[in-house]
Amino acid sequence: MPDTKNYTGGCHCGQVRYDVTADLGSVVACNCSICTKRGALWIFVTPENFALRAGTDDLVDYQFNKKVIHHLFCGQCGVGSFSRGQGPGGAEMIAINVRCLDGVDLTALKLQPFDGKNL
């Protein structure tokens, strides 16, 4: 059953802040090269459910491989709190790093392994 809630989140230093509406019922733990190194845990939302409140000018874009995903991170503290990309069918999707949301009990999350390494 969907359990959609409003969350706030952002980077470590506070320059990058956002609001997001999401269901944390299933969180993706990807094993690709960048997710492994970052330790990111992901949920995916549509642009209507995401609002960047601060930090547009502080974001640095990192791209690699096919360059379809914008792995944005804060130029001041280096934390990648969200990424922008396209879902299946080309629609814009925002990937939220659940570790960067405020007040979330990370130990209570149900993790869904994703084999990004072998895509």
The footprint of Zn ion (CB under 5 A) covers 11, 13, 15, 74, 76-77
Backbone CA torsion sign across 3, 20, 16, 87: positive
Q: Give the burial string for 59-71 (b: 16+ CB within 10 Å, else e).
A: beeeeeeeeebeb
- Type of residue numbered 7: Y
What is the smallest separation between the CB atom of 77 and Zn ion, expressed in angstroms? Answer: 3
Question: Which residue number, 22 or 72, has a Cβ lying nearer to Zn ion?
Answer: 72
| Shortest-Cβ-distance residue relative to Zn ion | 74
What is the smallest separation between the CB atom of 61 and Zn ion, expressed in angstroms? Answer: 15
Question: Which residue number, 20 or 74, has a Cβ lying nearer to Zn ion?
Answer: 74
What is the smallest separation between the CB atom of 57 and Zn ion, expressed in angstroms? Answer: 12
C-beta of residue 105 within 8 angstroms of C-beta of residue 31: no
DSSP-derived secondary structure letter, 89: T
φ/ψ of residue 47, rounded to 5? -55, -30
Question: Which residue number, 9 or 86, has a Cβ lying nearer to Zn ion?
Answer: 9
Question: Which residue number, 75 or 116, has a Cβ lying nearer to Zn ion?
Answer: 75
What is the smallest separation between the CB atom of 70 and Zn ion, expressed in angstroms? Answer: 16
